Chain A
């Protein structure tokens, strides 16, 4: 009952005209950003971090959460109408959604995506409200050694599960941890990796790192490979669906919710795995399996519900443990820190107004998104035609503005460019972004907990072992050695749905991007193999 009472208080916070306005701005901006190519929610929140100087923490977080949710909605519009998923969360939607759009059912695809996102988002937010306080209470009993173990697990889970190559995930993590080391070490007062540069003594501001990796890196990378031919947008009317569509959609929505929420709550690389899992599940359970691959509505309904539920699930570890599981959550944590708010299990005690206002605003934002998206789909689709030079010039412009305003120092602008170049290199060679930003944010935190733990045990390494941390270490080791473990297991031990999901993900990594560019690529490869080898 406590949680419900708190939630009602939260609505009191979220329903003030001012906060309603910020929630509205957030979802509006988030949807626009989600639709626009090249910009994701993580980049947007990073670019808007200067707003934290003027807004109070609750309003800012409400707005950022609106962007997070809105980005999920907007992303599905793009992948249905363009077949070029911008974010990994909407890769699956493009498979069936675009086929539907091509056969004249774009309105139904958009409708099932929007309504499914609303249903899943609402249920998942309710789960968040009910579960989070309990998780936070349990987390209060966690000591420094357990915390250290959990962060270590998060590092390994994020690098091992994400993307197609775990070596590259680890490389990205290492780069992030190195950036996190720069600056004065708090416990000893020693300068590490500053090379005597005074501007580096306080470390590289996380805002500069986030904007550099996500905004500048992305803009440079896209600029180097800008598609010159105009893109084809499938024309669409208002989103709507008929009785048959409802009948085929509601079960995938619910299943998607319960697949997405738990996956969002664990650091497994965001929405990619659960959306594929939902897709494969729906394909198995569908009464119309022959339609899959030609525009089956279940293949849009399930994954879209899943990705919104996982966004809400991702807020559980963020609010209760201070552990981000997605890039957007990571940047939101940065925002919390700029207010001097220490994320962690005490957040529910120390900042109840903020936390419950945020959760209540998610319900409100979700409803706003439904209202915005059903009738306005054609308007959003028009955003896809924005001239690319202005879009990417604008990203560089606002990145510089945001990074400069942190310390009012031109040095940060050069740093921003350097980190942008790093982001470019990482995109070029397939190093995922998420482990790097998580490393920057959680690295110093992990070090602090490690030292606390060893201080208590007087330097004995055995001080790191508690019953809980031992379990966590075993899970981490299993994850790290997963390929070996899989070889040792008998074939039958692998659940077929999971195996199929893994296959589908693998395949999507081999042929990401536009379908026609994929066909060109395969042609080229065939050509190369012909005379060359």
Chain B
């Protein structure tokens, strides 16, 4: 038990370096991309499109270095708290994966199936991922929300969300 726990703290510490790595990589990306910008023909003024990306990229690189130093000195990021947040455990990746799946399902299906169904799938899937097991009640709420929002957007805001398979019916 205690060995697993200390293992997780080491892993946590190491993953913090991932943030520094991410910032450094982002900095390099921004700088390289700026250097590859072709000579502009219509640029006005002495400051071209390159200058600011160079500065932002350098900022990211500097921050990455400082963050690494901070981490080596034992500094740790402080995870954000909240009313419903319990920071004593580790991240629940299963829930996250299921939520992301519901989210992606909506993104893939919204044009073909239409928002009234893809949105309902998103809501139902997310509620399931978060531990709700009232399948019928969840489905009823999901459909009420997605159809309701479709009508609200169509008549209230003049935005027509995709109708998909219900073309001609809605």
Which residue numbers of A lie inside 8 Å of B, CB to CB?
A: 37-38, 50-51, 53-54, 78, 82, 84-86, 163-165, 167-168, 170-171, 173-175, 177-178, 181, 185, 187-190, 192-193, 216, 218-228, 231, 387-390, 392-394, 396-398, 400-401, 404-405, 408, 410, 413-414, 417, 424-425, 427-431, 443, 447, 450-452, 454-455, 458-459, 509, 512-513, 517, 520-521, 524, 527-528, 531-532
Query: What residues of chain B lie closer than 8 Å to A224, measured between beta carbons?
Result: 91-93, 95-96
Minimum CB distance partner of A181 in chain B: B53
- Asked if residues A405 and B85 are in contact (CB atoms below 8 Å), the reply is no
- Asked if residues A168 and B52 are in contact (CB atoms below 8 Å), the reply is no
- Asked if residues A54 and B157 are in contact (CB atoms below 8 Å), the reply is yes
B139 at the interface (CB under 8 A from A): no
Cα separation A5 to B12 with both chains bound (whole Å): 60
Minimum CB distance partner of A187 in chain B: B44
- Asked whether A227 and B2 contact (CB < 8 A) given A54-B156, A168-B67, the answer is no
Q: Map CB proximity to A onto B64-88 as digits: 1 under 8 Å, 0 otherwise.
A: 1011001000011111111111111
4 cross-chain pairs, A with B, having the tightest CB-CB distances, nearest first: A430-B77, A459-B46, A37-B83, A393-B126
> A168: which of B43, B77, B156 is its contact (CB, 8 Å)?
B77
23 contacts between A and B (CB under 8 A): A50-B157, A174-B56, A174-B60, A178-B60, A181-B52, A188-B42, A189-B42, A190-B40, A218-B82, A221-B82, A231-B84, A396-B99, A396-B103, A396-B126, A400-B106, A401-B153, A410-B110, A410-B111, A424-B96, A509-B78, A524-B5, A528-B2, A528-B6
Minimum CB distance partner of A420 in chain B: B103
Cα separation A413 to B162 with both chains bound (whole Å): 14
Cα separation A533 to B146 with both chains bound (whole Å): 54
- Asked whether A459 and B49 contact (CB < 8 A) given A174-B60, A401-B119, A520-B88, the answer is no
Cα separation A429 to B19 with both chains bound (whole Å): 8
Cα separation A98 to B2 with both chains bound (whole Å): 35
A195 to chain B, nearest CB (A): 8
- Asked if residues A222 and B82 are in contact (CB atoms below 8 Å), the reply is yes
B165 at the interface (CB under 8 A from A): no
Query: What residues of chain B lie closer than 8 Å to A431, measured between beta carbons?
Result: 19, 77
B81 to chain A, nearest CB (A): 4
- Asked if residues B123 and A225 are in contact (CB atoms below 8 Å), the reply is no
B88 to chain A, nearest CB (A): 5
Cα separation A531 to B1 with both chains bound (whole Å): 12
B30 at the interface (CB under 8 A from A): yes
Query: What residues of chain A lie closer than 8 Å to B130, measured between beta carbons?
Result: 223, 226, 388-389, 392-393
Query: What residues of chain B lie closer than 8 Å to A458, measured between beta carbons?
Result: 46
Looking at A165, A187, A225, A524, the one whose CB has the most chain B CB atoms below 10 A away is A225
Query: What residues of chain A lie closer than 8 Å to B111, measured between beta carbons?
Result: 410
Looking at B44, B45, B63, B80, the one whose CB has the most chain A CB atoms below 10 A away is B80
Cα separation A387 to B83 with both chains bound (whole Å): 14
Within 8 A of A (CB), among B78-125: 78-89, 91-93, 95-96, 99-100, 102-104, 106-108, 110-111, 115, 119, 122-124
Minimum CB distance partner of B59 in chain A: A174
B149 to chain A, nearest CB (A): 6
Cα separation A85 to B85 with both chains bound (whole Å): 11
- Asked if residues A410 and B100 are in contact (CB atoms below 8 Å), the reply is no
Within 8 A of A (CB), among B134-168: 138, 141, 145-146, 149, 153, 156-159, 161-162
Cα separation A451 to B52 with both chains bound (whole Å): 10
- Asked if residues A227 and B86 are in contact (CB atoms below 8 Å), the reply is yes
- Asked if residues B106 and A413 are in contact (CB atoms below 8 Å), the reply is yes
> A427: which of B59, B80, B92, B104 is its contact (CB, 8 Å)?
B80
Which residue numbers of B lie inside 8 Å of A, CB to CB?
A: 2, 5-6, 9, 16, 19, 22-23, 26-27, 29-30, 33-34, 37-38, 40, 42-49, 52-53, 56, 59-60, 63-64, 66-67, 70, 75-89, 91-93, 95-96, 99-100, 102-104, 106-108, 110-111, 115, 119, 122-124, 126-132, 138, 141, 145-146, 149, 153, 156-159, 161-162
- Asked if residues B44 and A165 are in contact (CB atoms below 8 Å), the reply is no
- Asked if residues B80 and A226 are in contact (CB atoms below 8 Å), the reply is no
B15 to chain A, nearest CB (A): 8
Q: Provide the main secondary structure of the chain B interface.
A: helix
Known: A170-B66, A400-B103. 15 other contacts (CB 8 A): A54-B158, A170-B59, A175-B26, A187-B44, A192-B53, A222-B85, A231-B84, A393-B123, A396-B123, A450-B52, A454-B46, A455-B44, A455-B47, A512-B81, A532-B6
B124 to chain A, nearest CB (A): 8
Minimum CB distance partner of B38 in chain A: A190
Query: What residues of chain B lie closer than 8 Å to A397, measured between beta carbons?
Result: 119, 122-123, 126, 145-146
Looking at A189, A216, A509, A513, the one whose CB has the most chain B CB atoms below 10 A away is A513
Cα separation A193 to B29 with both chains bound (whole Å): 9
- Asked if residues A225 and B91 are in contact (CB atoms below 8 Å), the reply is yes
Cα separation A414 to B99 with both chains bound (whole Å): 13
Looking at B44, B60, B88, B123, the one whose CB has the most chain A CB atoms below 10 A away is B88
Cα separation A334 to B124 with both chains bound (whole Å): 31
> A165: which of B40, B78, B100, B157 is its contact (CB, 8 Å)?
B78
- Asked if residues A524 and B88 are in contact (CB atoms below 8 Å), the reply is yes
- Asked if residues B40 and A451 are in contact (CB atoms below 8 Å), the reply is no
Query: What residues of chain B lie closer than 8 Å to A84, measured between beta carbons?
Result: 82-83
Cα separation A424 to B45 with both chains bound (whole Å): 40
- Asked whether A428 and B91 contact (CB < 8 A) given A225-B85, A225-B86, A393-B127, the answer is yes
- Asked if residues B107 and A414 are in contact (CB atoms below 8 Å), the reply is yes
> B30: which of A181, A417, A427 is its contact (CB, 8 Å)?
A181
B99 to chain A, nearest CB (A): 6
- Asked if residues A38 and B83 are in contact (CB atoms below 8 Å), the reply is yes
- Asked if residues B46 and A455 are in contact (CB atoms below 8 Å), the reply is yes
- Asked if residues A405 and B107 are in contact (CB atoms below 8 Å), the reply is no
- Asked if residues A53 and B157 are in contact (CB atoms below 8 Å), the reply is yes
Minimum CB distance partner of A82 in chain B: B83
Query: What residues of chain A lie closer than 8 Å to B149, measured between beta carbons?
Result: 398, 401
Minimum CB distance partner of B20 in chain A: A171
Minimum CB distance partner of A533 in chain B: B6
